[in-house]
Chains A and B, each alone.
Chain A
Amino acid sequence: MAEAGTVLYYIVTLFAASIRMAVPLTLAGLGESFSERSGVLNIGLEGIMLSGAFFSFMAAYITQSIIVGVIFGCFGGLLISMIHAYMSFKCYVDQVIVGIALNFFSLGLTSFLFMAYFGRTTTVPQCPVVKPIRIPLLSDIPIVGDVLFNQDIFVYFMIFACFVSYIILYKTVWGTNIDAIGEHPKAADTVGLNVKKTRYITAIINGCLGGLGGAYLTLALLGFFMENITSGKGFIALVVVILGRRHPFGVLFAALLVGAAEALQYRLQTLGSGLPSQVFIMLPYVVTVIVLLFSIGKSSDPAALGISYKRSSR
C-alpha cells in the first residue's frame, strides 16, 4: 500500500513539474502562433525569450518587485520582436536571417549587460520568485488538486491565455483576418485588410508573450540569470508551434509533452544511475526531434509563411 502511495505521489509531482516546464514553451508558442498565422516566421523567438528573461531578472533584482519584473520581461521580448518586425516589414529582409541575427544580438546584449553589471562574482545574484497560489477547495481534491490548483500565477495565466487566444483566433473576425493575411496577403490587402498593421500587432503579441515565457524562467523556475539561460527553449517552442499546428490548445498539449521530457530529465539526473548527466540533458532535445517526426505529412503551414509582403510586387 505504502509502495503504491509513493509511486502515485511520484507521478503527481512529476506531472506538476511537467506543467511548470511547459509554461515558457506554451506562452512563447502562443505568441509565435499569432505571428505565424499572420504569415511571419520569427526564428528570433529564442532571442525574444532570452531578452525577456534578462530584463525581467534585472528589473526584479533591482526593484525586488515581481510585477515590475513581469512588465520588463514583456518589454524585453518586445524589443527583439519589434526589430524583427521593422526589418522584415519595412526593409523586406528574409525573416529567417533576421531571426538568426537577432538571436546573436540578444545573446550578446544580455550576456554583456549582465557581466558589465555584476562583474565576475562567485555568488549568484538572486531575484524574488513567485510563490504558488493555493486555490481553496479545488486544491483539496486528491491528486488532481495539488497538480492543477496549487501552482503559481503564471500557470493560471497560461491556461487563461490559451482560452483567450482560442477565442480571438477562432471566434472573432479579427482572428479570421489574421489567417487570411497569412494565407494570401495580396488578396487580404485587396479586400481592405491592413496587412502591415495586423502583422505589427501579432508581432507585439509575440514579443509580449515570448518575453513572459522568458520571464517565467527567471521569476519562477530559477530565480537567477546566467548567460544563454534559455539554451534552446525558444527553438523548442517553435517545434511546439509546428506540432500544435498553431492551435492554442494544440500548443499547450505539445508543450506539456516536451515539458514532461524535461521534468523527467531532472528526475533521472538526481536518481544516481552512474550515467553522465549529459545523457539526460539531451533528452528534451531528442524528444523534440522525435515529436517533430510525428508532424510529418500533416503540414498546415500558412501559405505565405516567411514571405515578406511588398504591396507593389506581383
Chain B
Amino acid sequence: MKYTKELVSTLIIILITFLLAAVLIIVAKYDPGMALQSFFYGIFGSLHGFAEIMVRATPLILAGLGVSVAFSTGFFNIGAEGQLYMGAIAITFVGVFLPPMPPMLHIAVAILAGFLLGGIWAVIPGFLKAKYGVSEIITTIMFNYIAINIVGVLVRTVLKNTESALPYSPVMPKSLSFPLLLYPTRLHGGLILALACAVLIYIIMKKTTIGYELRVVGFNKRAGTCSGISVYKNIVLASLISGGLAGLAGVSEIAGVHHRLLEGISPGYGYIAIIVALMGRNHPVGVIISAIGLSALQVGANSMQRQAGIPTSITSVLMGVIVLLALGKNIMFSGILKKMRIK
C-alpha cells in the first residue's frame, strides 16, 4: 500500500499549495477566479504556452542534472546560477573572438567551451571542499555573485557591442544558433541537447563504474575510502560535471534564446535547478519531469501576471513550500493519513 500513501501525500501537497496560493492572492486583493483561469490558460491554452514551458524547462533540465550529479556525490552545489553565466560567457567569447567556422564545428566548440568554463567555476569550490574542507555552500554562492558581476563588467568592456550604448555583446553569428524546432514558437534545439545529456548522465551515473564511485562517495565517504575510492577525486569530478552541465544551460540560453550576452539572462534558473534536483530525487527522469513541472508553474504564473496583475514572485513562495512539504510529508501528514486509515 506504499503507493496509495505516496499518492495521497502528493494530493495533499497539491491541495495545500493551491490553498496557499489562493490565500495569498485573496489577501493581496487580486481576483482569484481570474488568476485560476489565466494560470491554466497560460499552460494549456495554446501551442505557444507548451513551447514556452519547454523553452524554460531546457536550462532547468541541464542545470538540474548538474545539481543532481553534485548532490548524489554529497557536494552541495548551490552555484549553478554562476556556472550558467560562465557558460554564457564562454559561448560569447567563442562567437566574438574566434574566427568563423563551419556551423557544426562552431557550435561544438562553443558547447565544449561552455562546459569547461562552467566546470572550472564549480571545480574551484570542489577542490577547496575536497582538499581543505571549505564549505562549498558558501563558496558556490559567493561565486554566483562574482560571476553575475563579471558578466556586468564584460558587457561593458571587452564584450561590449561598440555600435550601441547599451550594455550587451554583439549578436552571435548564425552558426552559433540552435535551430528552431517548432516555428513560429521559440522552441529550440537546446531541448534536444538537454534530453541527450539526461540520457548520458543516466548511463554514467547508473551503468558505469565512474557513476558508482560518485554515488558511493555521496552515500558514505568512509565506506568509499575504505574500499579504495578516492573521495577527493570524485568530489572534484562531480563538481566538474555539475558545473559543466550548468554551463551548458548558459550556452543553450545564448544559442537558443538571446543570441547575445546581456545581464539577467537567467531569471534564477540556477537556483530553481536546486529544487528541480531535489524534487527529481537526483534521477535524470525525475529531473526532466520536475523541470517541466516547475517550468509550467512559472509559465502559468507569468500568464497570471499578464492577465490578473499578480506578481510572479508567488512562484518562489510556492516552490519553497512544495519542497518543505515534500520532504516533511511522512511526519507532517502522519496524523491525517492515520485518520484516513491509509497505512
Residues of A near any B CB (own CB < 8 A): 43, 83, 87, 90-94, 96-98, 100-109, 111-113, 115-117, 227, 231-232, 235-236, 238-239, 242, 275-276, 278-279, 281-282, 285-286, 288-289, 292-293, 295-297, 299
Contacts and interface: CB of A to CB of B under 8 A. Distances in A.
Contacts of B328: 87, 90-91, 93
B125 to A, nearest CB: 9
Interface stretch (B1-9, B138-146, B170-178): B138-146
A97 B328 CA distance: 11
B24 interface: yes
Contacts of B134: 292-293, 295-296
Contact of A108 (B78, B138, B152, B315): B315
Nearest to A116: B28
Interface in B287-338: 311, 313-321, 323-324, 327-328, 330-332
A280 B58 CA distance: 33
Contacts of B150: 278, 282
Contacts of A238: 135, 137-138
B245 interface: no
Interface residues of B, number: 47
A108 B76 contact: no
Contacts of B97: none
B71 to A, nearest CB: 9
A2 to B, nearest CB: 36
B138 A97 contact: no
Contacts of A102: 320, 324
A293 B139 CA distance: 10
B274 interface: yes
Contact of B317 (A109, A117, A276): A109
Nearest to A236: B142
A92 B149 contact: no
B317 A97 contact: no
A101 B324 contact: yes
A278 to B, nearest CB: 3
Contact of A278 (B128, B132, B156): B156
Contacts of A286: 142, 146
A13 B219 CA distance: 52
Contact of B139 (A87, A111, A292): A292
Nearest to A43: B137
18 contacts: A87-B324, A90-B331, A91-B328, A97-B327, A98-B324, A100-B78, A102-B320, A104-B271, A106-B320, A108-B314, A111-B316, A115-B313, A116-B27, A116-B29, A236-B142, A286-B146, A292-B138, A292-B139
B153 interface: yes
